[in-house]
Structure 1
């Protein structure tokens, strides 16, 4: 997303899915039908550099022919900031460059440190013309560029979690709300439609539900989460004037997902089901859905 050209060099593709305290490496071979996932490995970084831990992970797979392989770096939600702003009165190719200056009062990065890009939703509230500006830190990203260059790997895309996740969603004839739990512990609510991603929101302040017992959930422990999801649905249906969502798909960690589904269905009066990994990722899937943002780097067209 953040301004790198793309060129095909090697049938192996690498994704580093990173947060401030973790790194996941995923390696896939390209094929005509679907990617062939051959590596899905992860390390938590207690002390030291995430880049250093990435180098150690990569070294474990040194026997693979990875020279000149394309690399996507997927930033977790704690490594970038996104904010809706009015579209600048500029040509599209000039907008990204202008954002690093206009965002200085809206994000925590200084203008000298910002690398910026943007995306937009296919529908907006009546009378609005906004874009979603995305800002990340050059200081944090430069070591990754150097690390990959030193190993003769081609950084072709720096992506963000909120845009790689929708690539794993199947095209539906109706709108669906997808609930993801990302590696930083927060939840992301997204609404996908036949037109594409229409809504994305980080649900700040919602407690981790993974340790709730059946009795706690049946007694209403999921109500705060359901309230935030309802707010997202209300915005989509009222402000964007869209037809009601058809179902909720949950990609969240819990040992009793059937109870989570049942409770959310009752609280929101919309059918809730569990997310199903794509077939090509099932064998090496993490299982707690923490790898979805990285897997999305191998699906669809990079942004």
Structure 2
């Protein structure tokens, strides 16, 4: 299923224009890509500050209308606190049959009524001997999404798909053959550990108890504790999943001090630690707060990534 998540619409849209919209920290950001001479280029970008969650829908409308008034596709990045990721055995069914069954097969795993569950999946890329194939399932509440979906009734661009932050980061990371770890943390939220290899999400963990590692309150014990959680993830990946060693750790953090944390983790783990930079030339034209929106727009440039 590649980067595709939660896509459903099918109508005639401008194939040479793609928009990504993402809520990030206290802003909503949008990026519009246009295809010129067979190459995708950054056409425009816009950001709107928000202070309350109720402001996001108006900001989505403002951002989308600012970057383009074409009738084109939009890919919306769902905030990470709107969804959960669970790993399940993959049944021997078609993709469509699996998606149709997910509200009922996942209802006991989440605190969402089955009729309000919206779910999609990606294949888990590692299958061990004597184990069945697995899949990562992304689950969200339809009631949370409706205000976001309804906001596109006020824009000419059409909401074509919704995606997760993890899959956007996979897109931004590119197709490195070697495995790399990404530590992701948004303002006032706990960090997550991702392992990405060859354009696939191999591991995703959400951590708890690390909000104290802020610039104004750097705590060596918490840095060591985070290093220990990272080491556990590395050991699981390399020993339990029998995969080659992690080649680098990359930080994409808001509250965490990249300089302090980078040095502390590098010393603790004896692994190269760097700040995250997308493996897309288009990203060089944009500030980091637009990366998620760029990744969402870029997903739409692949005709196989959205139904």
User: What's the Cα RMSD here?
Assistant: 2.7
How much does 1:273 deviate? 1.4
1:14 matched to 2:15? no
Equivalent in the alignment of 1:39: 45
- Describe the superposition over 1:216-250 as per-residue Cα deviations: whole angstroms up to 9, x where unpaired: 56x44411211111121111111211011111111
- Describe the superposition over 1:162-199 as per-residue Cα deviations: whole angstroms up to 9, x where unpaired: 11111111432321111122356222211122363211
Work out whether residues 283 and 291 of structure 2, in 8 Å CA contact, stay in contact via their aligned partners in 1: no
CA distance in 2, matches of 1:201, 1:149: 35
1:90/1:183 CA distance change after superposition, 3 Å: farther
**SS of 2:114 mapped into structure 1:** coil
> Greater share of helix residues, 1 or 2?
2
Equivalent in the alignment of 1:143: 147
**SS of 2:61 mapped into structure 1:** helix
How much does 1:65 deviate? 4.2
CA distance in 2, matches of 1:115, 1:253: 29
Q: Which runs of 5+ in 1 are unaligned?
A: none
1:67 to 48, 66, 70: 70
CA distance in 1, matches of 2:256, 2:142: 39
Work out whether residues 121 and 199 of structure 1, in 8 Å CA contact, stay in contact via their aligned partners in 2: no
How much does 1:125 deviate? 4.0
Q: How does 1:1-303 map to 2 (within 5 A)?
A: 1-5=5-9, 8-9=13-14, 11-18=16-23, 24-31=28-35, 32-36=38-42, 38-46=44-52, 48-58=54-64, 61=66, 65-126=68-129, 127-183=131-187, 185-194=189-198, 196-211=200-215, 216=218, 219-253=220-254, 257-277=258-278, 278-286=280-288, 291-300=290-299, 301=302, 302=305
Normalising to structure 2: TM-score of the pair? 0.83
Work out whether residues 212 and 221 of structure 1, in 8 Å CA contact, stay in contact via their aligned partners in 2: no
How much does 1:281 deviate? 2.9
How much does 1:68 deviate? 0.8
**SS of 1:185 mapped into structure 2:** coil
**SS of 1:204 mapped into structure 2:** coil
Work out whether residues 32 and 68 of structure 2, in 8 Å CA contact, stay in contact via their aligned partners in 1: no
Normalising to structure 1: TM-score of the pair? 0.84
Work out whether residues 236 and 242 of structure 1, in 8 Å CA contact, stay in contact via their aligned partners in 2: yes
CA distance in 2, matches of 1:208, 1:175: 29
Q: Which runs of 5+ in 2 are unaligned?
A: none
Work out whether residues 187 and 206 of structure 1, in 8 Å CA contact, stay in contact via their aligned partners in 2: yes
**SS of 1:296 mapped into structure 2:** helix
Deviates more, 1:131-140 or 1:29-38: 29-38
CA distance in 1, matches of 2:80, 2:198: 25
1:47/1:206 CA distance change after superposition, 3 Å: closer
CA distance in 1, matches of 2:114, 2:151: 24
How much does 1:207 deviate? 2.4
